[in-house]
Amino acid sequence: MNVLETIRIGLQGIAANKLRSGLTMLGILIGVASVIVLMAIGNGASVAVTASIESLGTNTLTVRHGTFGGENDTTRTQFKDLTVDDAVALVDPVLAPDVVSATPVVTAATTCTFEGASYSTSVTGTWPSYFEASNSPIGTGTPLTADDVLNSRRSIVLGQTVISELFGDTDPLDRTVTCGGVPFIVVGTIEEKGSSGFLDADDVAIAPLSTVQSKLTGYGSLDSILVQASSSEASTAAESEVTSILDQRHGTTSEDNRDFQILNQAALISTVQDTIGIFTVLLGAVAAISLLVGGIGITNIMLVTVTERTREIGIRKAIGARKSAILTQFLIEAMVLSVIGGGLGVLLALLATRITIADVTPVIVPSSVIGAFVVSVSIGLFFGSYPANRAASLRPIEALRHE
Amino acid sequence: MTPVIDLQSITKVYGAGDTEVQALRGIDLSIARGDYVAIMGASGSGKSTLMNIVGALDAATSGHYALDGIDIDDLDESALSIVRNRKIGFIFQSFNLIPRTSALSNVELPLVYRGVRRRERRARAITALESVGLGDRMHHMPNELSGGQQQRVAVARALVAEPSLLLADEPTGNLDSRSTADVLDLMGRLHDQGRTIVMITHEDDVAAQAGRVVTLVDGQISEDRRNRP
Ligand SMILES: Nc1ncnc2c1ncn2[C@@H]1O[C@H](COP(=O)(O)OP(=O)(O)OP(=O)(O)O)[C@@H](O)[C@H]1O
Ligand SMILES: [Mg+2]
């Protein structure tokens, strides 16, 4: 009795009952497809958020003024401003070898207008190094220059969202846009970065620090200092260097009365990825349950098949079929159902993940494809073996008497 | 020479307690090679029970059974399946062909389970089907064949593996007189070729064909006679 022969007998069994075999495969198909698709959505969300954070630069640290917890305020002796001098002090090849640049940043929430169109955005006042540190390449025109800052020129560089809101199809270069009552000349535009749902990286307007401070915000504390580390691996080292320099300058005596906060992009990415990872596992678990239900479907169908064909089993045993031959016949039926069902499920998932769902472009996790397929076949084996074993263990006379 | 079938004090009890049925109460029977034996008896006398034990489809409650000198009582399920495959051809009253499977595939099946190669078993199955006069019906499904034709397919299946023993439990019970004659004719020819045949029947004229008639009453042998010297 060779294997090929048994496979042939198993296939005949499936072909004899097309509708039922089809429905069983559908159960497995849905299970496999949903595992792959849901994992792909979770992964897609993670990729999208990571990309949007990365578009801000993975090697940057943002030093923010103030703290977010209010409970320490009573112990704080002094609350120093974040100043341009702080930013200058951070670029120090001895004390801070991992810091490449430090750029002061102030922001002013304003409304910008151009020929009747108006748009609320925040104007960022900063230095030319901002473009590189924040990973914002210039599309058309020129970036801000040191000259612009020194002379407090009213130059401005706009992101694509602001441009489309104010100018539509008109070329914005050299036009005058009014922000917070101050007229600015558009000298450059920033390449489109793409938004990621909750964060629009193109909604920016960048002007010289000196101009924004003198016309819009006044000369108070900086909002933040954008620090560029030499690489994303060095960002942790840079973070501690920046902390110790600023601690000294601000007279920090303990972590409780520190008057600044450092946001590390690399650390942020890993936190976000962890969070989405949990979410993805959850989705996968839900999908795994449907795969399990598909497996129970196979067991059920195999039980029915075995009961219905008990007489046939009796005949086969009466003419000398061994237990192993009967067992393999039914196991192969179960396996074929799950292999075809699983295979079609993979195909369906590959098609379904081409569709963008709720702003997320699914990205297939290769291991989920292999995993779901292997699991579906194992389920076929595992859940098919019980009815198959029952069939194979029947005494021939019992099977033959079965009506 | 060892007999093909050697039964000693075979008993069979079905059920237990109140529902206990003594189907066989001590059967001693020896059947020689090449013999043609008819088993008769009233309904419920234990004929089928005896036949199932002889065919290794069921186990006796007590007693000894040797087939071709092999002790059947000692064999495990996997050895029994080999015995059923090589030594015994079983013909049932209700044909018992595998549905949705062609006559040819049905006849091939014992050879499939024996591990005979495709080409050879196909040739042997065709020969067997031709010998029962169904050379032109090989690719028909069982539900496309008459009762008599189905039973002839079953006979072909029983003899394709050339077993030492052909067992038939009322093979003509479901057939009209024409088909009965066909099947009996076939049995006669097989006997002439030297096969050992044991056949259950209710009809005297069917039994008249056999060389020996064993009659059962209530699970015991009441008569054992030879038709011709
Ligand atoms: N599986 C079973 N469980 C319980 N009792 C059984 C079983 N099979 C047979 N019997 C009983 O054993 C006795 C013998 O049955 P058996 O089938 O051998 O009779 P038979 O001689 O073949 O009858 P028939 O000519 O009607 O086929 C009967 O009383 C029957 O009721
Ligand atoms: Mg009977």
A49: helix, strand or coil? helix
Strands A182-190 and A155-158, sheet pairing: parallel
Specify the pLDDT at position A381.
Answer: 82
The tally of CA atoms less than 13 A away on the side-chain side of residue A126 is 27
More confident residue, A11 or A130: A130
The DSSP code for A81 is P
On average, the pLDDT of chain A sits at 83
Query: Who has greater pLDDT, A117 or A284?
Result: A117
Nearest-ligand number for the alpha carbon of B50: 1
Please report residues of B whose CB lies closer than 8 A to that of A402: none
Name the pLDDT band for A358 (thresholds 50, 70, 90): low
The nearest CA of chain A is from the CA of B16 a distance in Å of 17
CA distances in angstroms from A367 to A6, A36, B87, listed in the order given: 32, 9, 53
Is residue B7 pLDDT above 60, yes or no?
yes
Average pLDDT (A130-152) is 87
CATH top class, domain B34-47+77-226: alpha beta
Sequence-ordered list of residues with C-beta below 8 angstroms from that of B170, at least 6 positions apart, any chain: B93, B200, B201, B202
pLDDT digits (tens, 9 = 90+) for B23-75: 999 999 999 999 999 999 999 999 999 999 999 999 999 999 999 999 998 89
Rounded to two decimals, the pTM is 0.67
Q: How far is CA A255 from the centre of its chain?
A: 33
Better-predicted residue by pLDDT, A34 or A268: A34
Q: What is the pLDDT of residues A218-229, one digit of tens each?
A: 888 888 898 988
pLDDT digits (tens, 9 = 90+) for A57-79: 678 888 888 765 544 444 445 56
**pLDDT tens, residue by residue, A363-385:** 888 888 888 888 888 877 887 78
State how far the Cα of A198 lies from the Cα of A188, in Å rounded to an integer.
25
The shortest CB-CB distance from A397 to any of B57, B81, B96 is to: B57
Query: Using CA positions, which residue lies closest to atom 3 of ligand 1?
Result: B14
Q: What is the pLDDT of residue A1?
A: 52
Find out whether A69 and A272 touch, Cβ atoms under 8 Å: no
pLDDT of residue A74: 47
Q: Which residues between 116 and 135 in chain B have a beta carbon less than 8 angstroms from any beta carbon of chain A? A: none
Query: Which residues have CB under 8 Å from A94's CB, separation 6+?
Result: none
Calculate the CA A69 to chain-centre distance: 28
Q: Give the integer Cα–Cα distance in Å for A75 and A69.
A: 13
Between chains, do A316 and B98 touch, taking CB under 8 Å as contact?
A: yes
Q: Which residue of A has its CA nearest to B106?
A: A316
Whether chain B has a CB inside 8 Å of the CB on A1: the answer is: yes
Strand pairing category for A176-179 and A117-126: unpaired
Q: 3-class SS at A183?
A: strand
Whether residues A323 and B55 touch (CB distance < 8 A) is answered with: no
Centre of ligand 1 to C-alpha B50, Å, is 10
Give the residue from chain A lying closest to B95, CA to CA: A315
Distance from the first to the final alpha carbon of chain A: 28
Ligand nearest to the CA of B202: 1
Q: What is the pLDDT of residue A78?
A: 57
Q: What is the pLDDT of residue A197?
A: 52
The closest CB to that of A320, out of B58, B84, B100, belongs to: B84
Q: Which residues of A touch B57 (CB under 8 A)?
A: 318, 395-397, 400
Q: Which of A12, A320, A395 comes nearest B113 by C-beta?
A: A320
The reported pLDDT for the residue numbered A71 is 47
Q: What is the mean pLDDT of residues A142-165?
A: 90
Alpha-carbon span A188 to A175, nearest angstrom: 10
Buried b (16+ CB within 10 A) or exposed e, A56-93: bbbbbbbbbbebeeeeeeeeeeeeeebbbebbebbbee
- Asked if B114 lies within 8 A of A320 by C-beta distance, the reply is yes
Cα angle for residues B190, B195, B198 (degrees, 5° grid) = 95
* Centroid of ligand 1 to alpha carbon of B90 (angstroms): 18
Mean pLDDT of all residues in B74-99: 92
